[in-house]
Amino acid sequence: MTISAKKKPSIRNPIHSHQVVIQATNNLDLAKRIQEEVSGKFFTIKFRKLNNDIRILNGRLGVIKDVETPNDLVSYNKFLTVFDLKKRNFRMANLETVMSFTCNKKLFLINRSNNSLWGETR
């Protein structure tokens, strides 16, 4: 008798119930859409850092514990302030390079109006 173990979801092989493509026209609209979908829950965001490395961050929006002044949702209309669960500190996700985010087993792919999903021009 063999027992087959179910494959657990991971960052590299997630199990999503469905995918949603978001057409991003500007950073502020994208930040508001992320906040609406996440609404205080834990989520994973994938974006390209300034040195062109791809970063996958597990975090949460709206964390204010042990913070003297709460961070704004968007800083300078370019970055999203996320509490990183692994580093236990705040990180800034570049809204211009966000590729996708995942929350509640939904994968949200970001499509820019002037370029494709991974920053290549068509």
Q: Is residue 119 part of a domain?
A: no
- Its domain, for residue 35, covers 18-112
Q: Is residue 78 part of a domain?
A: yes
Supply the CATH number for residue 33's domain.
2.30.30
65 versus 57: the higher-pLDDT residue is 57
Per-residue model confidence as pLDDT tens digits over 38-48: 988 999 999 99
Q: Is residue 10 part of a domain?
A: no
pTM given for the model? 0.71
The model's confidence at residue 100, banded by pLDDT at 50, 70 and 90, is very high
Residue 19 reports pLDDT greater than 90: no
Q: Is residue 6 part of a domain?
A: no
Mean pLDDT of the chain: 78
Q: Please give the C-alpha separations between residue 9 and each of 6, 22, 35, 50, in angstroms, as whole numbers.
A: 9, 23, 24, 28
User: DSSP string spanning 28-89?
Assistant: HHHHHHHHHHHTTSEEEEEEE-TTS-EEEEEEES---TT-SSPPPSEETTTEEEEEETTTTE
Q: Round to whole Å and give the CA distance between 24 and 95.
A: 10
Residue 17 reports pLDDT greater than 80: no
34 versus 115: the higher-pLDDT residue is 34
Q: Among 18-32, 60-74, 85-99, where is mean pLDDT lowest?
A: 60-74
Q: Is residue 121 part of a domain?
A: no
Position 75 scores a pLDDT of: 61
**Count of the separate structural domains present in the chain:** 1
Position 65 scores a pLDDT of: 73
